[in-house]
Amino acid sequence: MTVDDIEKVVSDFVSATKRSLAAGFQVIEIHAAHGYLMHQFLSPLSNTRSDEFGGSLENRMRFPLMIVKAVREAWPSDLPLFVRISATDWAGGPDELKLVGTGKNPTAKGWIFSEAIIFCAQLKKVGVDLIDCSTGGILADAKIPVGPNYQVPFAEAIRKNVDIMTGAVGLITNAVQAESVLHAESADAIFMAREMLRDPYFPVHAANELKFTIDDRPKQYGRA
């Protein structure tokens, strides 16, 4: 990408933000994870640029921060802005999980969690309200210790070290599990997708399981 290309993408994000506001959306989430464009700039595995957008961490963060700052300026201050990140490329394998909170991973050559912490601190400075904490996406053969709550430690560490709200994701599939993450103050929100596809009425079933009464469901649903 040329510098003109980069500036055009930033402008396109601003235009999309304005369209979202006009359409009535009340939350925006910028996707900077999973090998998409902003993650490609952040990770030294994919970013081999030699200009002001490559090399050092400061340079690799420059383009994503340009986008986020521009979106924040175009998005009303009273509406929340989320950013989804990959907290690690898992270039160091499962050991990255053991090193959460230590600020280092000497075995990894990709995007590592200590860099993600610094990036999140910068995101907070430009007005981001919540970090959606996922992982991976650059390496097709990354060794990821996939299992229930496997990404929650990243959300917890970012929450504590950056003092910003976080969302936990990844194989969180039932109400008690999700509620336990919140009660442990490991995250401020649970983001779910595949479970909602499997069970479109998951919120109702979760409320029943947790003995919570939903008072604002449409009256037409009452008969069911």
- Listed by start position, the domains of the chain span 3-192
**218 pLDDT tier (thresholds 50, 70, 90):** confident
CATH of range 3-192; options 3.90.1150.10, 3.20.20.70, 3.40.50.261, 3.40.50.720: 3.20.20.70
Annotated catalytic residues are: 36
Instruction: Tally Cβ neighbours within 10 Å of residue 82.
Output: 20
Give first-to-last CA distance, the chain, whole Å.
54
> Which whole number is the average pLDDT over 59-73?
98
The CA distance from 186 to 149, in Å, is 10
> Which whole number is the average pLDDT over 10-18?
98
Instruction: Tally Cβ neighbours within 10 Å of residue 198.
Output: 9
Q: Looking at per-residue confidence, does 216 or 208 come out higher?
A: 208
The CA distance from 159 to 99, in Å, is 16
The CA distance from 70 to 75, in Å, is 9
